[in-house]
Amino acid sequence: MAYTSASDLEPLADELYEASGDDDFRLAELIRQLPKETAVRLCTSDLTNALQTYIYAFEEEPEIDIYERLLLQPSSQLLRGIKIANVELSEIIFGFDKKSSLFFIAVWDGEKFLKAFSGPGSSREAVKYAKEMSA
């Protein structure tokens, strides 16, 4: 089935939530089994939260303060970016790049992204980079 709208994704999201038993790590595993385009549509919609998408994208649980912040944000906010931390004079942003279809964590200096990271360990790498830039 082609998932072309949010209403097409709703039954899929319901199935995934039921199959995962409200376990966010299990949900991320199930989302990884979907075609990438479908997974991305689901993980940039209001049908998942940013925490679930973080676990899907980076295969890890964030630190507790980030965990709580992402839990309250719909994944659709990733299209604009969600500030997850301040490090020195920089902000750490979790977002989605439409051109590359990648979820990223980037260091923002208030005017531009200095560097973006994707994949496991991105959050640690971004914090490390931000600290190095301010040293």
Q: How does strand 102-108 pair with strand 90-97?
A: antiparallel
Q: Rounded to an integer, what distance in angstroms lies between the CA atom of residue 116 and that of residue 64?
A: 22
* Percent of the chain topping pLDDT 70: 95
Helices and strands in the chain: count of H runs, count of E runs: 6, 4
Among the listed residues 33, 39, 47, 117, the one whose alpha carbon sits nearest the alpha carbon of residue 75: 47
Cα Rg of the chain, angstroms: 15
Q: pTM for the complete prediction?
A: 0.92
Q: Rounded to an integer, what distance in angstroms lies between the CA atom of residue 15 and that of residue 30?
A: 10
pLDDT in tens, 66-123: 999 999 999 999 999 999 999 989 999 999 999 999 999 999 999 999 999 999 999 9
